[in-house]
Amino acid sequence: MTRKLFGTDGVRGRANSWPMTAELALRLGAAAGRYFRRDGSGAHRVVIGKDTRLSGYMLENALTAGFCSTGMNVLLLGPVPTPAVGYLTRSMRADVGVMISASHNPHQDNGIKFFGPDGFKLSDAAEAAIEALVEGEIQPARPENIGRAKRIEDGRGRYQEFVKTSFPTGLRLDGLKVVIDCANGAAYRAAPEVLWELGAEVIPVGVSPNGTNINDRCGSTHTDTAAEAVVAHGAHVGLALDGDADRIMILDEKGRVADGDQIMALLAARWAEEGRLQGGALVATVMSNLGLERFLAARGLRLERTAVGDRYVVERMREGGFNLGGEQSGHIVMTDYATTGDGLVAGLQFLAEMVRTGRPASELTRSFETVPQLLKNVRFTAGARPLEVASVQAVIRASEARIEGRGRILIRKSGTEPLIRVMAECEDEALLAAVVDDIVGAVEAAV
């Protein structure tokens, strides 16, 4: 079954424009409600969380109406990180969890992503089945079976207590000065409170959401703000989360940024030494740097690559029995602790390593030398298919021939935005720039 609404991370788009309208959100809620209570038995429940976008109110109410119309009871968590929804779906014995967020996108966008009763994101097949229900007739509940909605006041607190259990028993963050940039997003209260409770001196950034400033010149995709705070306050380390707190970037004491590849390298090496790395492998996407692959190989470990998207990383982890994976963009998935990427848990693992070793962040964030990598994006209009244009395909073939044996090229359509992403790696930086610019130029001409 094919999917039209769902991309690599749920349904996403500009708020109040298709598909992010109240009308479609209502139908999505009703379709998901019907799908998850298709046996028709007993009471069923859904937990719904959101980030701090203004449009979250509209979509939350529409989804609630849709779920209630099919007999689902709705538990409203309010603003919580995406991983909190995964955790609480399972913890509260819900049939389905929903997170309303467009992650790192600007406030004008929003999204809806679903979690199954096990706390993991839905499979492609489940999403396709829900889409089919959206497009058809959705059977409503009988009047006496309409669902109820209830606000859960302590959802964030439950998540915070769970997160602290991921930090090694007996360790504290006393003496560490930590900048935490919450991107004016879902973790604006949870992350600073957890760090403070574990003993850190906390310098919070991006903790004043107003509905329209999420990810605005802050967070994991705009790390200059956190870097400036680290340097200005003489902090030991900076943690930069994105809008829904499922990804993280680490900044050392000099304000330099380490991406997900460096974090995964550090954790993989440590877990392998401790005999904790299941399957002798790390799962990452095709975007991860060749330097990471070489680092792992030198230690007798494998890099298992997947398509881009943390849900595909998690699927491969579950298939192969692996417990560590993630993305260069900062999604770090540790199934020993969580069912999805959790930026705060990943940050705590890094801080634990700082405390355990006594080494500065600048050392721990430089596990390997990266192979020069260049990524450029080309925006296109809806309906355009630039990668199918003959002239673009010809330039891609010529570029691949030029770089063969010295690097690699990866070209893909974004699953969350109308972008063509052109990435290449090569130790010859002049050649690297040339092939990327050639392909970008061809795509721009086509669109």
Catalytic center residues = 103
246 among annotated binding-site residues: yes
Q: What is d(CA 14, CA 382) in angstroms, rounded to the nearest whole number?
A: 13
Structure tokens at 185: 């997003």
List helix spans (H) across 79-238. 82-91, 124-135, 155-164, 190-197, 224-233
Compute and round to an integer the Cα radius of gyration of the chain. Answer: 22
289 within 8 A of 425, measured Cβ to Cβ:
yes
- DSSP string computed for 218-273: -STT-THHHHHHHHHHT-SEEEEE-TTSS-EEEE-TTS-EE-HHHHHHHHHHHHHH
244 among annotated binding-site residues: yes
- DSSP string computed for 48-73: EEE-S-THHHHHHHHHHHHHHHTTEE
Please give the DSSP secondary-structure letter assigned to residue 145.
G
68 within 8 A of 149, measured Cβ to Cβ:
yes
425 within 8 A of 371, measured Cβ to Cβ:
yes
Main-chain dihedrals φ then ψ at residue 182, nearest 5 degrees: -95, 10
Q: Which residues contact 423 (CB under 8 A, 6 or more apart)?
A: 287, 373, 374, 375, 376, 409, 410, 411, 436
Count of all residues that appear for the chain in the document = 447
Structure tokens at 396: 């891609």
For 402-424, letters b (16+ CB in 10 Å) and e give ebeeebbbebeeebbbbebbbbb
242 among annotated binding-site residues: yes
Main-chain dihedrals φ then ψ at residue 419, nearest 5 degrees: -130, 145
Q: What is d(CA 309, CA 326) in angstroms, rounded to the nearest whole number?
A: 9
**Which residues does the annotation place in the binding site for Mg(2+)?**
103, 242, 244, 246
